[in-house]
């Protein structure tokens, strides 16, 4: 600062100024001249002017330097902010893209989950209805099988014969075939609902319903004992009237029954309802075993009596 340096130089050499001119010295003389022995006192206004001038110059210098420093710092901060804003813009764009993709994925998942929920609900309903249908089907099968318990199927009666399909004619045929004391009481009799066969073809089966179950059981027992019943010039066979499911279930035990007949002392029989179990009576203790076809094969094969197919 020029003024400050000037003051310093003047204060360092006070003896160079002559004493007689001390009164007429300008106000810019340094206050250190007052300490001289020959100089007069400095006026108060001069001191205040010097301080004001110093303050003004110092403020201008500080302002200029601060302005330059702030200008440089503001430029640097502005550049950094622009870089950060650019990075944030790129990040925001990426985030928006990811959010858009996530929204699309969530929408697809909601559609898929809705479809899966409907499928699961439908599957549960189908399983319930399937179980209910199976129960009803088994019930209908049982009722149909029980309604046929008094029926017999007569096979081998020719179509062209004097024997008619009336209940009286079939009752007479059964009496003659098994030498019964009296004719069994029949509710109805008819041939199966098939087209009439041509000459030389197998005749249709006659289905007869007996009024009393005891008569039906007696006729079937006699038919099993005789197997082939001769009436006049033709041979007939009599079997129980089973449903197709019952007939298939009973046929599955044919091999087991054939082998059990070869074992002495064993009596066995098939349950009527659906014939899904094989009933056997073993002489020792007269115990009764009820078992399925697979169980019966495994049981008797372990004893070495029946060979599994």
pLDDT recorded at residue 161:
74
Residue 94 has pLDDT above 50, yes or no: yes
Residue 47 has pLDDT above 60, yes or no: yes
| pLDDT tens, position by position, 28-46 | 444 444 444 445 566 778 8
Positive or negative torsion for Cα 233, 151, 214, 170: negative
- Most trustworthy range by pLDDT among 10-19, 26-35, 102-111, 251-260: 102-111
pLDDT recorded at residue 185:
94
Mean pLDDT in residue range 87-111: 90
pLDDT recorded at residue 53:
87
| pLDDT tens, position by position, 228-246 | 888 878 889 999 998 888 8
Structure tokens at 301: 């094969």
pTM of this structure: 0.55
- Most trustworthy range by pLDDT among 19-23, 130-134, 275-279: 130-134
Residue 277 has pLDDT above 60, yes or no: no
pLDDT recorded at residue 233:
82
Weakest mean pLDDT among 24-38, 145-159, 171-185, 256-270? 24-38
pLDDT recorded at residue 3:
40
What whole-number distance in Å separates Cα of residue 67 and Cα of residue 59? Answer: 12
The order of strands in the sheet holding 234-240 is 186-191, 206-210, 151-155, 234-240, 229-231
Mean pLDDT in residue range 40-68: 82
Residue 271 has pLDDT above 70, yes or no: no
Residue 207: band (very low, low, confident or very high) from pLDDT cuts 50, 70, 90: very high
Residue 308 has pLDDT above 50, yes or no: no
Residue 186: band (very low, low, confident or very high) from pLDDT cuts 50, 70, 90: very high
Task: Sketch out the chain's domains with CATH numbers.
Answer: 151-241 (3.30.70.1820), 247-302 (no CATH)
What whole-number distance in Å separates Cα of residue 2 and Cα of residue 63? Answer: 18
Weakest mean pLDDT among 18-27, 198-207, 216-225, 252-261? 18-27
Opening angle at CA 164, ends 162 and 169, nearest 5: 100
What whole-number distance in Å separates Cα of residue 47 and Cα of residue 27? Answer: 8
What whole-number distance in Å separates Cα of residue 305 and Cα of residue 165? Answer: 46
Estimate to the nearest angstrom the gap between the alpha carbon of 213 and the chain centroid: 52
Residue 17 has pLDDT above 90, yes or no: no
What's the mean pLDDT when you consider all of the chain? 77
Q: Which residue has the higher pLDDT, 16 or 287?
A: 287
Residue 295 has pLDDT above 70, yes or no: no
pLDDT recorded at residue 188:
93
Structure tokens at 39: 């100089």
Residue 79 has pLDDT above 50, yes or no: yes
| pLDDT tens, position by position, 128-172 | 999 999 999 989 988 998 899 999 999 988 887 767 778 899 999
């Amino acid at each position: 600062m020029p003024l400050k340096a000037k003051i310093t130089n003047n204060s360092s050499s006070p003896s160079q100024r002559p004493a007689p001119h001390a009164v007429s010295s300008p106000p810019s003389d340094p206050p250190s001249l007052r300490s001289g022995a020959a100089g007069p006192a400095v006026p108060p206004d001069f001191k205040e002017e010097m301080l004001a001038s110093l303050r003004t110059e110092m403020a201008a210098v500080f302002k200029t330097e601060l302005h330059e420093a702030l200008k440089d710092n503001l430029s640097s901060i502005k550049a950094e902010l622009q870089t950060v804003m650019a990075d944030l813009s790129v990040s925001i764009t990426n985030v928006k893209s990811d959010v858009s993709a996530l929204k699309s994925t969530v929408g697809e998942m909601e559609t898929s989950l809705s479809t899966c929920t409907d499928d699961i609900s439908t599957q549960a309903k189908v399983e319930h209805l399937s179980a209910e249908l199976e129960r009803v089907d088994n019930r209908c099968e049982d009722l149909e099988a029980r309604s046929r318990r008094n029926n017999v199927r007569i096979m081998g009666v020719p179509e062209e014969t004097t024997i008619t399909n009336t209940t009286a004619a079939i009752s007479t045929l059964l009496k003659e075939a098994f030498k019964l004391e009296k004719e069994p009481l029949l509710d109805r009799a008819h041939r199966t609902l098939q087209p009439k066969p041509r000459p030389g073809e197998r005749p249709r089966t006659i289905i007869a319903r007996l009024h009393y179950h005891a008569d039906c059981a007696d006729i079937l027992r006699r038919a099993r004992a005789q197997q082939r019943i001769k009436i006049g010039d033709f041979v007939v066979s009599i079997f129980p009237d089973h449903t197709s499911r019952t007939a298939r279930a009973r046929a599955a035990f044919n091999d087991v029954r054939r082998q059990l007949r070869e074992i002495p002392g064993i009596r066995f029989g098939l349950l009527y309802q659906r014939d899904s179990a094989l009933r056997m009576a073993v002489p020792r203790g007269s115990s009764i075993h009820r078992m399925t076809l697979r169980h019966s094969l495994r049981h008797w094969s372990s004893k070495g009596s029946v060979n599994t197919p």
